[in-house]
Amino acid sequence: MTLASQSTPPVLAQQPEQRSVPVLATERLVLRAPHDGDVKAIVCLVNDRRVAENTARIPYPYGADDAERFLAAINRQDGEATFAIIRGSDLIGICSVEPRENSPEIGYWLGALHWGSGYATEAVGAVIDHAFGALGHDMLQAGARVSNAASRRVLEKCGFQWTGVGLYRIRAINSSAPLDRFRLDRGLWASLKAWGWAREVA
């Protein structure tokens, strides 16, 4: 899981309209826009300290009101795309690309029962392709807690290059922790594009 995985900002009265995102298909997964019917599944997966403490902005404990705020806030900015990760008929996580001050950031989380099966790498690869392709981004960034070796491996397998370590606030632990920071530019992505992880299906 990366640090920009999910936020629960207050819902603003004058928010932009929610933007549609495509449906992406990988070998084993479907990525589609999260919707109100996903609240129960999101809470069940992310109300888990092991998940929340590996992200920057997910609170712990995590309840239905947090999930509802999250769903109300996503897919409203230019250059943003937030996807539910679906395996079979089950939501197993969230993956997104979100605008940031320096460059857009890839974030993701998976429910703990789904760790270690390569689903995160598959989903992140699909969202990277969408970010550089349809969204037209030139650079992506990502972060992972230095204690989260599995998340660092996901980013490295997807072509991200390590750029340094910084100290960031982790909401679930109400403290700061060191994060490895990573970057992927369009040129490197183009050279790796033979991975062919995703196709747009709708």
Q: Where are the domains of the chain?
A: 24-200
pLDDT tens-digit series, residues 25-44: 999 999 999 999 999 999 99
Cα-Cα-Cα-Cα dihedral of 53, 189, 98, 77, to 10°? -170
Shortest CA distance to 72 belongs to which of 43, 109, 34?
Answer: 34
Average pLDDT, the chain: 92
Amino acid 21: pLDDT: 95
The answer to whether 97 and 105 are in contact (CB under 8 A) is yes
What does pTM read for this prediction? 0.90
Looking at domain 24-200, its CATH class is alpha beta
Amino acid 55: pLDDT: 95
Residue 124: other Cβ atoms inside 10 A: 27
pLDDT tens-digit series, residues 107-155: 999 999 999 999 999 999 999 999 999 999 999 999 999 999 999 999 9
- Residue in this structure with the two tokens 């947090």, named with its chain if needed: 66
The answer to whether 143 and 179 are in contact (CB under 8 A) is yes
Amino acid 10: pLDDT: 47
> Which amino acid type is present at position 4?
A
3 CB-side CA count, 13 A: 27
